[in-house]
Amino acid sequence: MSFLRSCGSWAVQRATVNKLPMNLRGERRLSLPTTDATELRVFRRMCIACGRNHNSMSVLPKRYFSSSQSHMISTRKPYLIVVKEKESPKEDGAMAQLKQVLDVRLEQLLEESLKHGEPGRFYRYPKPLRTVNRPSRQKGHQPHSKRKPGFLEPKNQTDNKSSSHASTQPKRKFKAKELSLKSVQSSNVAQMQKEDVASLPEGGMPKERIAPVKDRTLSSSEVGGMEINKSRLKSYRTRGETEHSRMILKSQKVDQSEKVDPDIKDDKLVIARTDPKTPEKPDKKHMYHIMRDKSIYLEPLIEVCMFKNMTKRALSEFNSLKSKMPIDVGIYNMMLKGLAQKGALGNIRTLFDSMAASGINPDAQSYAAVLQCIGRMKFRHLQTITKCLSDMALHDITIDDLFLKTTFSNDDRSVMLEVIQGVNPDYIPPRPLPRPHATCGLVQDLYQDEAELSDGQNDESAVGHGSLGCSGLLTKEEFQDKFKEQLDLEIKEAAVIKSIEEDGNPDKNTLQKREILQQHKKVWKMSLVQAIKEEREAFKRKGRGISGPDQRSYAGMLYPFLNILKPEEFADLMLQAVADTLACSTEGLGSYSLSHELGNRVHRKLIIRSKLQKGFAEKLEQMYDAFADYHLSEEMMQRYKPREYWQQLEDELLDGPSLNHETKPWKTLTNASLGIVLVKMIARELRLDTAIMNPQAERKLIPAFYNVYIFKGTKNVNYIKPHPTLVDLMEGAKEPDMTFDTTVLPMLVPPLPWNSCKYGGYLLTETRIARCPEGSQQDQELSDPSRLKDWYPVMDSLNQLSAVPWRVNKPILDVIISVFKNNGSKELNIPQPASVLPQPPSITSETSKADAAHVYRERSLYQKLRGEMHSLRMTDLYKLSIANKYRDEIFWFPYNLDFRGRVYPCPPHFNHLGNDVTRSILVFAKGRPLGDKGLDWLKIHLINLTGFLKKSSNQDRLKYAEEKMPLILDSADNPLEGQKWWQGADKQWQSLACCMEIANAMRSDNPAEFISYFPIHQDGSCNGLQHYAALGRDKIGAEQVNLHPFDVPQDVYIGVADLVEQQRAQDAEDGLEIAQLLEGKVERKVVKQTVMTIVYGVTVYGAKLQILKQLREKEGLDRFQKSLASKYLANAVFNSLLKMFTKTREIQSWLTDSAYYIAKAGHCVDWVTPLGFPVAQPYFKQRYGKYDDVGRSNVQIDTLKQKNGFAPNFIHSLDSTHMMLTSLYCQQAGITYVSVHDCFWTHASTVDEMNQICREQFVKLHGQPVLQNLSSFLDNKYGDITISKSVKKKPQNAEIQTIGDIVKQVPKPGEFDLTNVLQSTYFFS
């Protein structure tokens, strides 16, 4: 029997088996291929027989091949011989004989396979034809004696071949990567066929050649037994197991003389590199949609191919899809621009012919690409240029359109101008067209012509606050340096920040875990880098175009995406995602969410590098140098809005690339498809040594992450969870450095002003103005350039907020960090580490079943609390570490909107919308003198923060502050060791910060001249109900929420509680038992949350749960009584609100009914805010396996969410509009202004001015016919739609036939005089 019969031979060098490298399983591996099924069965039986408690050898299928050997593979399946050493007891005769046969066979195999060959080369030999000759159906087939040489068959092969035949065979060579190998030619097949197992020589392989496993001890430097063995970077995988021997963790100390040299020597046995795995087939649902609609991938694919200079692949994919899907001129222009950079005029002509055949008219961007291509050619054909210009005229495109309606990269503009002037030397490009002004009537007085604006600013009263811009904070040179620093951060795409937990003296246990973690990370990175390389090559081989099978098509589509980054960069990105999202807690993350996040991260990096490739950085630096002058001049900031000044700079600096390139976001499935590949690598490649935490345990490699399926409602969702050992390791390591994306950090310079819905915020990092789903109705409306002027007021408000500079309140930060390092404090709302939790009880042999069940519940609760505490602790660690990093810096926050129009800072961890701790750390970077009333406002603000005198007037609060001044000063001087008066406040840390500011002002020479940086807050009184009361002119409700002036603030929560108590008392008199039990238990605290959330659409059931939570603290009621009481009080609260806010309930019902019928008609509810911002509710039901045109698995309107969400979302859009109006007019007045939704911030000296502007803009906003305008909008859009007979109707709506019938039923307003707001002190206070 011949072991090498009918197989190709891989070259190996002569060596004994004991010189093979050994992995952690005690295996020595030899790679030899065979496809003979009979021989393999016999050999496998011999291996099984010898493998029982003896030295064993096994045959395992190998599926992976190195990238450079991919062309050698046909249909043969090589196999892997594994030699595994074990303790060998006495062998019986049968076992010894079988083992002898096996050893002899392997020895002979090694000797016979080295008879021929040329050193340093691989050869691939063709498979001999079967003995049964069959006539070939292929044209030109030759018999075996006249066959052509194999793909890599050498010319001078003579063994068992005639010399004439050998001379005709071309010599095909393969150079191995990193390995110097001697080639081995095939053994004599005829001779091997005559051999018999019985005729083999006795003795077999000498046993002294097999080196036994030595006892080894850990060295002191090998913490956790981790050392990288570079000589064993091999990857062998079986069909059922992923072997991690490519990146081996050498867990034992090896003598230097025994180490295997990574450089291959003549006396070493070398195993040829195995081939990378074929790409795993995606999930069936996902795969179905990928292959059903490849158009999702076309635009991103072209974008990536052009970025990576894969022009041929882009053309191939484009040509194969253009006849299968509708392609618009935008996709053609992407191809044309890429080809123009290469000067590929022939390909451009082909694309123009294709456009003509498809009936697509080229636009100005198309012809600009032609002229740019000609300009980059060595020889410019005048005839081609003339033909291009004449074709433009046929399509009504002028030469001026080429400069006014197109975007440019690098030197495109100058190249095109040179070509045009070569034909028409007198041509001068036009100046940009004048920018349109905002059309919103609410702010028409803010948008005047430049001359009028200049005249209006001559009034000295309009200038002089000194609180706008950066004047006095930075010089021009410092501003330029900070710009370069910020640009460099965004180019690097990440920043390393030192953890506040790192004090320079970690304990021994922490150091040990850090070293173990670092060793793992080194191995993980090497493993991921190799996996990325293999994955690339596998996808490259499989992707031969998109017309083949599904898997080939999938691979062909994704191959370019795997080339966006270098393998090392991909590995860093995946490891960063592991640290950020996966390894933080044992909860894990949904695999789809993680896939989408990884795809997003790759896309962000692509956008930044694409911008750099197009020359954005140089153009941006030139423009920002001029933009610095604007921020350094307060007069300029009042004369121009940031957007206006930036647009003026764009119109002046025309050369170079266009900065307003529109970058289309990738579809959801595009991100997820790329991310799925990376997630599978993470789960497959990252391994843990099980003995890292317990050196006595058995050492083996286990997955660091595993897949679990969790039911979420009715859906079974796949989660990626970290191994608990990894979580413990990362918690214990307390890594000193943390890496953050630049998108989660503040900026060192003012953000770019929003001048379109796609451009603004960070310098290079892509940011969108609205956080709405890609491709949604709202996103499409915001992408319409013809409506850009309608959104100027919204953009200008965002720009005003973004222009406010901040700095860190260092004294407060130091106190908070000291408490944080001292294991936190539950009383001070500083999260404690999970280690402070008491350990749950253990189960012993004496534990009863009932006690064991109790212990299991305790353990479950312990794990839940541990995860929550760790999450909270890490959240504060992030924000405090970022604050500590920026403690000596001036920084800015870029802003954008949610789908309702509410404003949020882009950095998520550290911003003024955070909790009490975060807000206390932030102060304005630019201070202002307190003036006459500033100190009084500081004192009033302090009492507001404490929550001590909520029902008292400002004068009473000021008097109380004076009485408590000794305690205030003591709090400022000894926050942690004094009388701790501040710790009794509602908002403790902000109160402490205010105490310190008051102490500094009081101790200054002149408090009126004291420069204060502290922000004073003015908060709306239940702002949602304020808007409802204003819309309905509800007199009683308006008085309850302070729209009417009073000497003391009205408390709507107390008012509702009083009405509820009156109803309870009446019911108690009537003999209602539950009302009698509630005597003395109806308090403000019980009803507050329900009243607060009534404007957000809370239901009776939701109100019952809210009240039940408050009643749990009450005594005298059992569990059943509390449940009944919560239901009773929920209904009582709703009845009281109906009496107090009659018009509010009518408006809510009208909004809810309108949304219900619109949603039932199959439409999402949308509207336009009074400032012109389009809003559309993105509420859809998910139906898995079905996708819409943008890759979202939602094809059905969620009627319930659309109905319940309309009223609260509409009110949110109104409070956002009020905030923006206040922002715009505060900027005009020269006042520093920021907001937290309905809480407005400014300096102490400008509180009165801001309050006046706030009230004026509220009256102006609700002076508009807001509900009537909404009714007209809905009627125009949906009014003609007939309501289906199957739709349920309320009794009062039984007669309506169309949606117009319901949306026209606008509730009539009450009699409240809205101008009373102007005199109301406690409207915002």
Question: Which residues belong to the active site?
Answer: 1019, 1088, 1238
* DSSP annotation of 1147: H
Q: What's the CA gap between 684 and 1114, in Å, rounded?
A: 53
Burial class (CB in 10 A: 0-12, 13-18, 19+), 875: middle
Backbone φ/ψ region at 129: left (φ over 0), alpha (ψ -120 to 50), beta: beta
Phi-psi region of 1310 (alpha: psi -120 to 50; beta: other; left: phi over 0): beta
Measured between alpha carbons, how far is 980 from 504 in angstroms, rounded to an integer?
A: 31
For residues 1282 and 1162, is the Cβ–Cβ distance under 8 A? no
Strand 1016-1019's sheet: what is its strand order? Answer: 1016-1019, 1239-1242, 1234-1236
What does the DSSP assignment read for 966-1017? HHHHHHHH-TTTS--GGGGSSSHHHHHHHHHHHHHHHTSS-GGG-EE-PPEE
| Residue of 598, 672, 553, 597 whose CA lies nearest to 1193 | 672
Q: Of 544, 538, 546, which Cα lies nearest the Cα of 291?
A: 546
* Residues 6 or more apart in contact with residue 1091 via CB below 8 angstroms: 1022, 1025, 1052, 1053, 1056, 1133, 1137
Beta bridge partners of 251: none
Q: Would you call 467 helix, strand, or coil by DSSP?
A: coil
Question: Which of 247, 244, 223 shows the shortest CA–CA distance to 693?
Answer: 223
Q: What is the DSSP secondary-structure string of 238-279?
A: BTTB---GGG-B--S---GGGSPPSSPPTTS--PPPBBPPPP
- Which tokens in the block code for residue 846? 């004496």
Closest by Cα among 473, 1015, 446 to 750: 473
Sheet holding 79-84, edge to edge: 27-32, 79-84, 56-61
Residue of 518, 506, 489, 573 whose CA lies nearest to 764: 489
CB atoms within 10 A of CB 539: 24
Question: Up-side HSE of residue 711: CA atoms within 13 Å toward CB?
Answer: 2
Task: Report which residue type is found at 1280.
Answer: D
Specify the 3-state DSSP secondary structure of 8: coil
Alpha carbon distances (Å) from 994 to 17, 518, 663, 937, 968: 77, 43, 45, 11, 9
Answer yes or no: are the C-beta atoms of 900 and 1213 closer than 8 Å.
yes
Indicate the burial class of 533 (C-beta count within 10 angstroms; 0-12, 13-18, 19 or more).
middle
**What contacts 163, CB < 8 A, 6 or more positions away?**
none
How would you classify residue 903: left for phi > 0, otherwise alpha for psi between -120 and 50, otherwise beta?
Answer: beta
689, two tokens: 């040594």
CA atoms within 13 Å, Cβ hemisphere of 947 = 7
| Phi-psi sector, 931: left (phi>0), alpha (psi -120 to 50), beta | left
